[in-house]
Amino acid sequence: MVISTANPKGGSGKSTSTLVIATTLASKGASVCIIDADPNQPIFDWKTNGDSKSDVTVIGGVKEDGILSLIEAQAAIHQFVFVDLEGTASLMVSRAIAFSDFVIIPVQASAVDVRQAAKAILQVRNEERIMQRSNPDGRIPYRVLMTRTPAPGAPVSRSQKKLEAQIIENQILTFKTRLAERQAYKIMLNDRLTLDELTDAGNIEAAKENAVDLVNELLRIVTSLGSKEEAA
């Protein structure tokens, strides 16, 4: 299962979302690989310069020409391959989308994020159309993931409400679960640890619950997609 995290806008929460989901899956015994295709290499740095005991395999230093063969090779040996893509509209991004089974498009409540997310959705649809020339049943499903949202119970900003209204109006597919703004998510990247390994990072339990909810929703989506394909 190849899952890319894409939004041509930088700072939308791609690396954080990827790391939260991937390490949560790995902590439950899943075989997980992250291909860090972001030139800043935040997840490769997390793995190589940190002390985390997580079993997640992280591969960095990826080039446009090598990304497809790398995805293919890792997808053949891991249950989950996450591709953390760069925050630009590059060929690396479009090629990774073409080879993905599912695309997560993280979005913050800002006009720039939403415009760039629309670009990513358009590209997913373009790649899907190309795929369907050789495989009419081929699909590249996606979901928009709202990130850095207020924690449950906290006041919701006007821009957040406006974004949510626009998403509903445009029938954009989204995760029901949002990734809330949590200190723990920042600290896990800064201290290069997993949520389970954090000891002092705000409300860690709430951050873990949010991660589990998101992972379960992702699992429900991707496994139901698999059964539909098999039935087709």
Q: Is the dihedral of CA 41, 178, 207, 29 positive or negative?
A: negative
Task: Give the pairing of strands 57-59 and 142-149.
Answer: unpaired
Q: Which stretch binds another protein (CB under 8 A): 43-51, 61-69, 157-165, 188-196?
A: 61-69
- Output 151 or 167, the one with its CB closest to another protein: 151
- Reduced to 3 states (helix: H, G, I; strand: E, B; else coil), residue 180 is strand
Does 40 help bind another protein (rule: CB under 8 A)? no
- Output 131 or 167, the one with its CB closest to another protein: 131
- Quick check: 151 and 180 in contact, CB under 8 A? yes
Does 118 help bind another protein (rule: CB under 8 A)? no
Does 127 help bind another protein (rule: CB under 8 A)? yes
Among 68, 111, 156, 173, contact with another protein (rule: CB under 8 A): 68
Q: Which stretch binds another protein (CB under 8 A): 49-57, 73-81, 159-167, 181-189?
A: 73-81
- Report the C-alpha gap between 65 and 172 in whole angstroms: 31
Q: What residues from 194 to 213 belong to the interface with another protein (CB under 8 A)?
A: 203, 205-206, 208-209, 212-213
Q: What residues from 159 to 188 belong to the interface with another protein (CB under 8 A)?
A: none
The runs of H, that is alpha helices, within 137-195 are: 158-169, 183-190
Q: Tokens standing for 107?
A: 């979005």
- Output 14 or 95, the one with its CB closest to another protein: 95
Among 165, 220, 228, 229, contact with another protein (rule: CB under 8 A): 220
- Report the C-alpha gap between 230 and 67 in whole angstroms: 27
Does 90 help bind another protein (rule: CB under 8 A)? yes
Strand order in the sheet with 2-5: 57-59, 32-37, 80-85, 2-5, 102-107, 142-149, 179-180
Taking the complex as a whole, the smallest distance from the CB of residue 65 to another protein amounts, in Å, to 8
